[in-house]
Amino acid sequence: MNKTVLLIICICATLTGLVSCQSDTYITPPQFDSARAFGYLEQQVAFGPRVPGTKSSAECRNFFYEIFDSLQIPVDSQVFTFFDLYSQTNIPMVNVIGSFVSDPQNPTIVLMAHYDSRPRTDYAVNPALKNDPIDGASDGASGVAVLLELARMCAMKKPELNIDFVFVDGEDWGKSGDIQFYMLGSKEFARKGIRGKYKFGIILDMIGDKDLTIYREQYSENNAKALNDLIFETAKNIKVNGFIDSLKYAISDDHLSLITAGIPAVDIIDFDYKYWHTEFD
C-alpha cells in the first residue's frame, strides 16, 4: 500500500489518541505492517465482487470476523433486509461492527468504511461489462484495509478513546441518480439509536489511489468543521502529500447518515479517482 494511504492510518491514529499532534513537534507515525495492510485489501478483492447477498460478500465478512477475533476485539453484526425495487426481491445485507473498548468512561468514536462493491459497471470502457459487478479495490476495499490495520494497532497500543470500527454494506447499491438506494448500511446503522453515543465519526472511502487527492468535502465542512480542520492540520503537520486544504466536492456518502443522526462526521475521500465505477477498479 502506498505511503500516502499508510499515513492516513497515522492521521486516524493521531485523532484517536495513539499519537499526539502539535504543530511544533515532529510526529513519528505509529508502527504498522505495510504488507499486512495491503494484504487486507488484496484478500477482499480475492473473494470477488462483494455485492450484497452474495457468497463473496459472506466470505469477506467471515474474513473480518476472523481478524477481529484474532485481535480480541468483540465483533457484532447488524443483519437487515432491503427490498430492491429493481429486482422486486429482498436483499439481505449485513453491517460488521468491531468494538474496541479502552475505558468505558471515555468517549467513543466511529470509524466507518463500506465493504460492498458496486453491482454494475456504470462507466465500463468495454460496453460488454456494463452490467457486471466491479472488484472495488479502491471503492470499498481500501477504506476497510486501512481500518483493519488501525484496529491491529489499537490492539497493540491502546488509544485513549473507545472506537467502533464499522464496515457497512449496501453503500453502492443504487443506480445512478437513485440516491435513496445508496448508503443503505449506514442508514440502517444510524437508525439503531446512535444519537449521543459517538463523539465524532470519520468515513474512509476510495483512498487506494496511488495519486491520492483529498479535498475538504462540503457536507463535512458544514457539519463538522472543527474535526475537518483537525484532520487537515494533522495532514500538514505530518507532511502527508495528497491532502488539499480547499473545498471541491459535496458528496453523498456514509457520513450523511451519521450527520443526520446528530454525529459530527467527516468524509475522507478521493473523488478524483479515474477508475471510479469502471472495470479497472
- Decide the pairing of beta strands 162-168 and 108-114: parallel
Whether 89 and 101 have beta carbons less than 8 Å apart is answered as no
| Sequence letter at residue 8 | I
Q: Residue 261's pLDDT is what?
A: 96
- Tens digit of each residue's pLDDT (9 = 90 or more) over 157-208: 888 889 999 999 999 999 988 889 999 999 999 998 888 899 999 999 998 8
Which domains, and CATH codes, for the chain?
A: 3-269 (3.40.630.10)
95: pLDDT strictly greater than 60 = yes
Question: 64 vs 51, 95, 175, 241, CA distance in Å?
Answer: 16, 11, 27, 30
- CB hemisphere CA count around 108 (13 angstroms): 17
Q: What is the DSSP string of 179-210?
A: GGGSSHHHHHHHTTT-TTT-S-EEEEES---T
20: pLDDT strictly greater than 60 = no
- Tens digit of each residue's pLDDT (9 = 90 or more) over 63-82: 999 999 999 999 999 999 99
Q: What is the pTM of this model?
A: 0.91
- Tens digit of each residue's pLDDT (9 = 90 or more) over 208-254: 888 889 999 999 999 999 999 988 988 888 777 789 999 999 999 99
Share of the chain above pLDDT 90, in %: 63
- CB hemisphere CA count around 8 (13 angstroms): 32
Across the chain, mean pLDDT equals: 88
Range of lowest pLDDT (88-92, 140-144, 190-194, 266-270): 190-194
Q: How long is the chain?
A: 281
More confident residue, 180 or 20: 180
Whether 272 and 134 have beta carbons less than 8 Å apart is answered as no
Cα angle 277, 32, 16; round to 5: 80
**Lateral strand order in the sheet of 201-205:** 75-84, 89-100, 162-168, 108-114, 201-205, 265-269
Query: Which of 22-26, 138-142, 242-246, 253-257 reaches the highest mean pLDDT?
Result: 253-257
pLDDT confidence bin for 9, thresholds 50/70/90: low
Question: 217 vs 9, 77, 139, 242, CA distance in Å?
Answer: 19, 29, 17, 14
More confident residue, 46 or 2: 46
